[in-house]
DNA sequence: CCGGTGACCCGAG
DNA sequence: GCTCGGGCCACCG
């Protein structure tokens, strides 16, 4: 059970049409305060773990961070989320109170 | 081992 | 609204 494995496991638990913040994923993975690792893990996302809905992970501001990884697909993540029914505000932000994943168990 | 970097987050000014 | 500084860990050279 590696650090990455925990992160991937949590991301996989994010339900359809919902989103989670890096900090939230880190917390659920028992890696409180290590949100950067989540970003790094997804950045180094292995193709064999392609089942992971990486697009459902956003930052604490409810925005998407493509800054460093966009390799041609500007709003790929946005498109994927919109395909799941997630609505973006005019600012390009997501309403966390409405779409943030709230794990009950 | 050390230094730099990173899909981040929080607090202060 | 923006910039700076600190923090945690993993990868790369």
**A78 pLDDT higher than 80:** yes
Q: What is the pTM of this model?
A: 0.91
| Residue A43 pLDDT | 86
Q: Which nucleotide is nearest to A4 (CA to C1')?
A: C10
Please check whether strand B approaches the CB of A67 to within 7 Å.
Answer: yes
Nucleotides of C under 7 A from a protein CB: 7-11
**Nucleotide C2 C1' to residue A68 CA (A):** 20
**A98 pLDDT higher than 70:** yes
Please state, in angstroms and as integers, the Cα–Cα distance from residue A12 to each residue in A15, A42, A68, A88, A93, following that order: 8, 12, 23, 22, 22
The pLDDT confidence band at residue A75, using thresholds 50, 70 and 90, is confident
Q: Tell me the two tokens of residue A70.
A: 């966009």
**A72 pLDDT higher than 60:** no
Residue nearest to nucleotide C10 (CA to C1'): A37
């Amino acid at each position: 059970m590696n650090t990455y494995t925990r992160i991937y496991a949590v991301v996989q638990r994010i339900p359809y049409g919902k989103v989670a913040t890096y900090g939230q994923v880190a917390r659920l993975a028992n890696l409180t305060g290590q949100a950067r690792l989540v970003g790094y893990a997804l950045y180094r996302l292995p193709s064999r773990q392609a089942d992971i809905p990486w697009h459902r992970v956003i930052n604490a501001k409810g925005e998407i961070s493509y800054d460093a990884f966009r390799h041609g697909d500007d709003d790929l993540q946005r498109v994927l989320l919109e395909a799941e029914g997630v609505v973006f505000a005019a600012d390009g932000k997501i309403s966390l109170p409405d779409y943030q994943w709230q794990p009950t168990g």
